[in-house]
Amino acid sequence: MTNPLLNTAAWSALGAHADATRKLHLRDLFAADPGRFASLSFEAEGMLLDYSKQRVTTETLGLLHDLWRAADVAGWQSRLAAGEAINHTEQRAVLHHALRHRGDSAVMHDGRDVMPDVRRVLDHIKSFCDAIHGRHWRGATGEPISDIVNIGIGGSDLGPRMATQALAAHRHRDVRVHYVANLDGADLATTLEQLQPRTTLFVVASKTFTTQETMQNAASARAWLVGALGEAAVERHFVAVSTNLKAVAAFGIDTANAFEFWDWVGGRFSLWSAIGLPLALAIGFDNFTRLLEGAAAMDRHFREAPLAENLPATLALLDVWNTNFLGAETHAVLPYSQSLGLLSRYLQQLEMESNGKQVGRDGQPLGHATCPVVWGEPGTNGQHAFYQLIHQGGRLIPCDFIAARHADFALPGHHEKLLSNCFAQSEALMRGKTLAEVQAELAAAATAVAPAPTFPLAPYKVFPGNQPSTTLLLQTIDPHTLGQLIALYEQKTFALGVLWNLNSFDQWGVEYGKQLAGRLLPIIEGKAPATGLDSSTAGLIAACKP
């Protein structure tokens, strides 16, 4: 077995502890310890983390802390900070934390400080934001820009898209930002039909400027613009986030309007880089800076806070407990905030692309489960969809509830109801409802006007409970807090990779489908014979021919 933690006393002790405590019910743990919340919650960085509704005891936490030390997570933190190529399969350092690093200290990579380059690109972003927001940048007809369309995919789309929605309360009033990612023409077409070419600017985000989805969408957007304004307009209506300046110039974009980032920035960790340009345009550079500061504060907390009060460490260890010792296969992320409506999708990419692997750092099978399936939807919408399954579906589904003390859109009467639903759901999942309790409720409700049903209704209304959940309570959704929240889950993902002995920073599983698509495209286009295909693929291609 490739993960050395499997052979440690800490892992064995947790296995024995899980067997001994498996039949404990959360309602009994709360009844036995009225002070459970005080001992299994803490506040840090303005966030309150309540994990008292997880199926853990203080003994569980002590054993998980032993596992953390056995994995030498602190040593891996030092290696990451030192710029070592911990992404060993691609021989790359992992330095996205440098993008939000504050202060004058150096961040080294290959013997040089990367911070001057980081600050240079930030200055470029600032000057461009100033030009757009100050209405100094003009399109080909001399009009200011009112709409920005980001064309990217994966990390070049979902991070800034999620954050733009999350920070809608802080958006710049004169600029609307749109996102196009899907290769399906419906994504681009329905976006363009809302826009005017003369006041639209496109940001093409692709490190290599060769990503198939991005470049097809960019080519179609270019044709739309040129058809309306002519070839010369491209230079005033397109900018790039890329390092392939030759391809950028060939597209017709002035290379002075190309924003750089580096190979030590992984796609799903790139929000903080020039990939965040559309976000900075959406919320203003000052707010973008506050986002970076929030993330830097969480980085510092992860390095310095003791284990018992460390937010990313606690979330990571709870994931290991639920996944490897209690057998959970999924993890629901349930923000009670419409502004965080894309957070679960963002975390799907962050966590599942990073840790959805079964081969360890030594190239051998791990021999244990890793990343659970991450999913979710904002409350209260999800309550009218999949909560039924969480409550009564018979599966173990750990949940992260995320809420804010104060609303970002403070309409009277809304936020108190939202919070009451959030806290009620975590209580119901913890407590459940017994058959005896249901029978007593039915008996009390039965009257001459509304008699008891003639069939036994009680079994249908029983809730097993004992579903583990964590509640993360923020102050509000603002740029600083969102930066903290995103970095919290980034650091949790990194820690889980260490605990599971994975390289969290490659994504070879994404490549195979791309290779096959490249082989099939000329066949579908009729430019190559349909040879060497399985019968299903050949049949599907044939069914699409005219």
Known catalytic residue at 357: no
Taking CA 380 as the corner, what is the angle to CA 376 and CA 382, rounded to the nearest 5 degrees?
35
- Residue 152 Cα to chain centre, angstroms: 16
Give the active site residue among 43, 90, 231, 384: 384
Asked if 514 is an active-site residue, the reply is yes
Is 132 in a helix, a strand, or coil? helix
Q: Decide: 53 and 426 in contact? Cβ < 8 Å.
A: yes
Alpha carbon of residue 53 to chain centroid: 23
Residue 357 neighbours by CB distance under 10 Å: 20
d(CA 190, CA 400): 34
Q: 């403070």: which residue's tokens?
A: 410
- What is the three-class DSSP state of 192? helix
Marked catalytic residue, from 136, 406, 417, 514? 514
Distance from C-alpha of 406 to C-alpha of 12, rounded to nearest angstrom:
43
**Cβ contacts of 310 within 8 Å, gap of 6 or more:** 44, 301, 302
Parallel/antiparallel/unpaired status of strands 469-474 and 47-50:
antiparallel
d(CA 338, CA 348): 18
Question: In sequence order, what are the beta bridge partners of 109?
Answer: 112
Query: How many angstroms separate the Cα of 107 from the Cα of each of 85, 112, 527?
Result: 14, 8, 50
466-475 core/surface letters (b: 16 or more CB in 10 A; e: else): bbbbbbbbbe
**Around Cβ 98, how many Cβ atoms within 10 Å?**
25
Secondary structure element (H or E) that encloses residue 399, with its range? strand 399-404
To the query of whether residue 353 is one of the catalytic residues in this protein, the response is yes
Catalytic residue from among 45, 213, 351, 353: 353
Give catalytic residue positions: 353, 384, 514
